[in-house]
Amino acid sequence: MIMCAIGLRRGPQLLQRLALLRESGEELLLVHVIDIDPRQGWEQSPHPLRPGPHPHPERNHRMDEAEMRSGEAILSEAQAEAQRLGWTASVRLERGNPERVLVQVAQEIGAMLLVEFARELPEGHPVVGPPSVGHTARFVLDHAPCSVLLLR
Amino acid sequence: MTHLIICVAIVLAVLACIMIRPGGLSEAWVALGGAVLLLAGGYLSIGEIPGILARQANVFGFFLGLMTIAALADQAGVFDLLATLIARWASGSTFWLYAGIFALGTLITMFLSNDATALILTPIVYALVTRLRLPVLPFMFACTFIADTASFLLPVSNPTNILVLDALGHGLLPFLHYLLLPALTCVGINVAIFLLVFRRSLRLRYAEADLEAIQPDSPLRRYTLFSLGIIAVGYVIASALQVSLALVALGGGALMFFGAMLYKQLDWKRLGREISWSLFVFIAGLFLIVQAVEQLGILTPLSRGIVHVAASGSFLGVLSVAAGGAVGSNLINNIPMTLVLISAFHGAPQVVSQHPALIYATILGVDLGPNLTTVGSLATMLWLVLLRRKGLDITTLDYVKLGLLIIPAMLIVSSLEIWLRW
């Protein structure tokens, strides 16, 4: 099984770069992780007139729904591209801290290879050197239980 | 002396618990508990409590009206509509969407307070940006920061402004005289710096097809928009004439409540959840605590310090008052810090009448304070750690700059503008 970390925007491009591996006969698992940290940070931060915790079902539902729809759309687009390129691909939508979830899933499925981009948004970043690799990619490189194919 | 030390110990314990929130304890219960301890210790008498709280009726009424208005505007879908319209106007440009969200956040803060922006607009923007498959952190940063940097455009933009103006008897004109230019400056600095820091993310484009369809026009939404316009005008006129803002806020809330009932779209339970009832307990407890502290003269040294600063008439003096307010509001929450400073001003009446610039330096500090740096706000620390971890391409130096320079830069420039009106 080849695991592919699908970010916000470049799922199809990642799959196009995998053409060389198609002869391996492996299936793809396309994984997108909904990053919960920004929302948790906002929920935990103090607000002007709200001393203490302030759960709000309607707002939570609104954000949950947006996350799910976006995640499903991202994976759907990537899966369509995978199928167009002749891959057999399944999808998995997760929530959590992206770098840790990716490593956990790779461990869980016994991935032989994990494919990721060095950065979500590469424009304007150095193409070589430490700043060329984002935090998530670096964590996965350091902790993945399998080989990692890092795409630039 | 023992009597005094015990009182100081109780107050410090209350402030520490507000800051740390041990075991997730609500600040409201902490403040109430502190007031009960002071009552038990004889620092307050039961007989004086109704009078202390009755004097703050304007503040309580304003807060209730403010939260009701924001909640009912949210229920009517006004914020969703405005956010979607901005996304359509930006026509796929993330840069213009970002600028538009800043503008919307400024407008909402200006007339509905920073609470509405931080708490109601932020999740709407989060959901919008998530649907558009854009990085969410720049937008959430925009909402939470602009909620504070725009919060001294008008007296109603931040409830702490009302606390200060109500206690010290000032109105709209002196407020604008001292704070309009600093407020516009701070908004400008905030927008400029964030556009620079997040410039890479803002080069993206989004598909307008990913936007939700705008909900069909509804009579309630039109009614709500019209009511908000009346309320906004009412705030300005009431501030100028020094009429109680609580009347405008409560009247506006009643107007919108009537509309929701009329169009049979009032969700009682949701409205009940939107109003932070614990806030009233929190503020009532704080008022009682500050009253006890004031009666004992514990804040006299702070009052003397303010008199000394006023006598010097120096820019550094103004800056120190603003910075002190900012740091203090960050450490112990801006509402108790505001009440402490008000109490200190009560002990220096000549400053209130002869050097009102210092009052506005205080407002500047407590309003900007919650956005302060890693050395203060837990929330800001969390945000900066998240930014770094998300690899939003800010180097260590950049995030130190963001944290340490943006608010001090605003404080210095705005304090200078206030001092020039000394």
**CB contact residues (below 8 A), chain B span 224-263, against chain A:** none
Contact A37 B386 (CB under 8 A): yes
Query: What ipTM was assigned to the predicted interfaces of this complex?
Result: 0.86
Specify the pairing of strand A2-5 against strand A113-117.
Answer: parallel
Contact A51 B278 (CB under 8 A): yes
Candidates A9, A36, A40, A45, partner chain B, best to mutate (most B CBs within 10 A): A45
Q: Is B222 on the interface with A (CB under 8 A)?
A: no
Report chain A residues touching chain B, CB-CB < 8 A: 8-9, 35, 37-39, 41-42, 44-54, 56-59, 62-63, 65-67, 69-70, 73-74, 119-121, 123-125, 131, 134-136
Does residue A25 come out as left (phi exceeding 0), alpha (psi in the -120 to 50 range) or beta?
left
Q: Which residue has the higher pLDDT, A58 or B180?
A: B180
Q: Mean pLDDT in chain A? A: 86
Q: Which residue has the higher pLDDT, B390 or A140?
A: A140
Q: What is the mean pLDDT of residues B279-295?
A: 85
The pLDDT, as a whole number, for residue B42 is: 86
Burial class (CB in 10 A: 0-12, 13-18, 19+), A17: middle
pLDDT band of B377, cuts 50, 70, 90: very low
Buried/exposed code over B322-332 (b: 16+ C-beta within 10 A; e: otherwise): bbbbbbbbbbb
Contact B204 A131 (CB under 8 A): no
Supply φ then ψ for residue B266, to 5 degrees.
-85, 125
Q: What is the mean pLDDT of residues B64-89?
A: 91
pLDDT band of B99, cuts 50, 70, 90: very high
Does residue A52 come out as left (phi exceeding 0), alpha (psi in the -120 to 50 range) or beta?
left
Q: What is the mean pLDDT of residues A95-116?
A: 94
Q: What is the mean pLDDT of residues B117-143?
A: 89
pLDDT over threshold 80, residue A48: no
The pLDDT, as a whole number, for residue B372 is: 60
Contact A121 B200 (CB under 8 A): yes
Q: What is the mean pLDDT of residues A89-108?
A: 95
In eight-state DSSP terms, residue A48 is: T
CA–CA distance, B147 with B153 (Å, rounded to integer): 11
Q: What is the mean pLDDT of residues B144-167?
A: 87
State pLDDT tens for residues B394-420.
444 444 456 566 788 888 889 999 988
State pLDDT tens for residues B333-349.
778 888 888 888 887 77
Inter-residue contact A24 to A2 (CB < 8 Å): yes
Write the CA distances from B72 to B79, B129, B143, B261, B288, integer angstroms. 10, 23, 20, 11, 31
| Residue with the two structure tokens 């500050």 | B290
| Residue with the two structure tokens 């194919």 | A149
Q: What is the pTM of this model?
A: 0.85
Q: What is the mean pLDDT of residues B240-258?
A: 90
Q: Which residue has the higher pLDDT, B102 or B114?
A: B102
What residue ranges define each of the domains in chain A, with the CATH number in brackets? 9-42+58-111 (3.40.50.620)
Q: What is the mean pLDDT of residues A15-42?
A: 84
Q: Mean pLDDT in chain B? A: 83
Q: Residue B207: how many CB atoms within 10 A of its CB?
A: 10
Contact A131 B370 (CB under 8 A): no
Inter-residue contact A137 to A116 (CB < 8 Å): yes
Inter-residue contact B185 to B407 (CB < 8 Å): no
Inter-residue contact B170 to B356 (CB < 8 Å): yes
CA distance B354 to chain A (A): 31
- Helix boundaries (H) for B92-218: 94-115, 122-131, 137-149, 159-168, 172-197
Q: Where are the beta strands (DSSP E) in B345-401?
A: none
Contact B204 A9 (CB under 8 A): yes
CA–CA distance, B353 with B273 (Å, rounded to integer): 41
B336: closest CA among B413, B284, B380? Answer: B284
Q: Which residue has the higher pLDDT, A38 or B147?
A: B147
CA–CA distance, A102 with B419 (Å, rounded to integer): 54
Contact B370 A58 (CB under 8 A): no
CA–CA distance, B261 with A37 (Å, rounded to integer): 38
Q: Which of B26, B67, B389 sits opposite A135 (nearest CB)?
A: B389
- The SS3 assignment for B370 reads helix
| Residue with the two structure tokens 């703050």 | B56
Helix (H) or strand (E) holding A95: strand A89-96
Write the CA distances from A55 to A58, A60, B77, B155, B399, integer angstroms. 9, 8, 19, 28, 30
Supply φ then ψ for residue B93, to 5 degrees.
-90, 115
Write the CA distances from A79 to A24, A82, A92, B36, B208, integer angstroms. 18, 5, 11, 62, 22
